[in-house]
Structure 1
Amino acid sequence: MTEDPAEARPWREGEGPKPKMRTWPPADPPALWVRQNGSWKWATVTARQDWPDGRTAYQVLIDTAGTTATSHRAYWWPHEGLRIAHRSAAEPTAEAGLGGDLPRPPQR
């Protein structure tokens, strides 16, 4: 039986170099199937995180509650609970203005 994928925790100040972030054009993002509570859910990839220790995490928008409201999650890749649903025709980029915009933090 396939387990749900492990969520990647955020990088924290003092942990060394930040992960390298890459994004895709908003008009053609890749997508993953994410296993969650026994079901496979579609998740649009918003960014790829390449960590200095060699790990990779994908940041996605996913409807975790089944209400059509999406939230951001990051999952370690590879994992049996993640499957490619759609590939982008574009390569991911770290160059500002060429990929998609990363989500903005909530305004307080």
Structure 2
Amino acid sequence: MQLVECYRIVTFVPNRDLEALVKAVCDSGLLDYGHYGDVLWFSSEGTGQFKPLSGANPAIGSVGQRERVAENRIEFSIVKDEAKLDELLKVVTTAHPYEEPAIHISNTRETRSAVQ
């Protein structure tokens, strides 16, 4: 077991779109965790809130109207590598239904039995 520098990526997705996003990030082949692949976590339903501003093209709701949506938090990590992070962000933003998804990225250290 070793400690490695990683990126932890968190986003929130409407419940109805959870499986499509999970499939896309798993199909990317980037979610290896030691000797395991397709490793991610998602939590039970929560509520996201937003109000599309002028110029927005919302997938849900209308410009100027506050919206609340049943969402799941989904998170995954990758070994710290800028090229892999860029690739994964492209996968997430393409598969995510929102025009501008909230994506949180943090630097962390995690245990891994092997680094791919």
TM, length-normalised to structure 1:
0.27
Q: Report which structure shows greater RCO (CA 8 Å, sep ≥6).
A: 2
Looking at CA atoms only, which structure, 1 or 2, has the larger radius of gyration?
2
TM, length-normalised to structure 2:
0.26
